[in-house]
Amino acid sequence: MNRVDRLLAQILFLQSRPLCTAEELAEHFGLSLRTIYRDLAALGEAGVPVVAQAGVGYSLARGYHLPPVSFTEEEAAALVTGGLLVERSADASVRRPMGSALMKVRAVLPRALQAQMVRLEQSMAATATPEQPARRADLTLLQQTLAQRRVLRFSYASWGKEDATQREAEPLGLIHYLERWHLIAWCRLRKEVRDFRADRMSRVSMMKETFEPRADFSIRDYIQSMPRPELQAEVRFTSLAVDRARREWWLGIVSERETPQGTVLTLASVDWKRLTGWLLSFGQDAEIVAPLSLRLQLVKAAMNAAGHHRKKPKPC
């Protein structure tokens, strides 16, 4: 990105939020703080009304806006791709407003670019269908409680417990991991920050009551404090199976190396049980190289599965 494009992008960044810090600008654009300060000074010299609040951050003077910006062909293609992925993998509460937002964007595009987007949509597809949990909180509602700092009331079914408990919580963040959305919130019942899986939440409602932000909480710090996979296993996959392994193992691949017998992946894991169950689905296309304890555990699991299926099935 050349300097002119970078300065324009920084104006758009400042225009898109009421306030931001130099550190946030530096992180977003991958620049040093020194470069950010130089760029902000250059914008001021060019007549852009950048307002600096000591110890708080930067903003654009009230009423200042750039004229509508046209999209490039690459940006339009990115919108089509993003819309397709959201349609196939996002929560239904997000798909509807996403579709509406894309329609508004397309309405301001030049005719030629609109036609290209139509042709691109007709030429792209995704076959992945998201799993629909039986119980699910409306993701848009959770986002609203975060943005408005409103107290949330819901019923929560904890893991391994049949009866749900009634909760009131102060939402602090949303994290997507292990194929589920998780609401991080201060639970008034437990008197601590808790992790609530959105698909275990029911009868969710946003209360009128608001709350003050917790100065000692940061979503980034929370993510850093989450348990990291400490176990590692070396597994050899055949050439037909290794691509699937790379796509599916969400806890991380530490390293990989090629051997005459196949590709050995070093897989990170938080426990052997989860990894064992997944490796069983590969049959003879996966072989545990190390550790021996995991190899023995998989043998035991396979024998138990075989013994279970030798039994006569119970009538339905």
Would 66 be classed as within a structural domain? no
Number of domains in the chain: 4
Judge if 260 and 218 occupy the same domain: no
Q: Give the pLDDT score at 300.
A: 93
- CATH assignment at residue 268: 3.30.70
Would 131 be classed as within a structural domain? no
The answer to whether residues 250 and 194 touch, using CB atoms and an 8 Å cutoff, is no
> The domain containing residue 214 runs over which residues?
139-225
- CATH assignment at residue 14: 1.10.10.10
Supply the pTM of this predicted model: 0.58
According to DSSP, residue 226 is labeled: S
Would 314 be classed as within a structural domain? no
Would 315 be classed as within a structural domain? no
Identify the CA nearest to 185 among candidates 134, 142, 228.
142
Q: Give the pLDDT score at 67.
A: 64
pLDDT in tens, the chain (316 residues): 678 878 888 888 888 788 889 999 999 889 999 999 999 999 888 888 899 888 889 998 887 766 666 677 777 778 777 877 777 666 667 777 777 777 777 766 777 777 777 777 777 766 655 555 544 678 888 989 999 999 999 999 887 666 889 999 999 999 887 667 899 999 999 999 999 988 889 899 999 999 998 888 988 888 888 877 788 999 999 998 999 999 888 778 889 999 999 999 999 998 888 899 999 999 999 999 999 999 999 999 999 988 888 888 777 7
Pairs from 155-162 (Cβ < 8 Å, separation ≥ 24): 155/201, 155/202, 155/203, 156/196, 156/200, 156/201, 156/202, 157/200, 157/202, 158/200, 159/200
Judge if 164 and 220 occupy the same domain: yes
- CATH assignment at residue 202: 2.30.30
Q: Give the pLDDT score at 236.
A: 96
Judge if 217 and 153 occupy the same domain: yes
Would 47 be classed as within a structural domain? yes
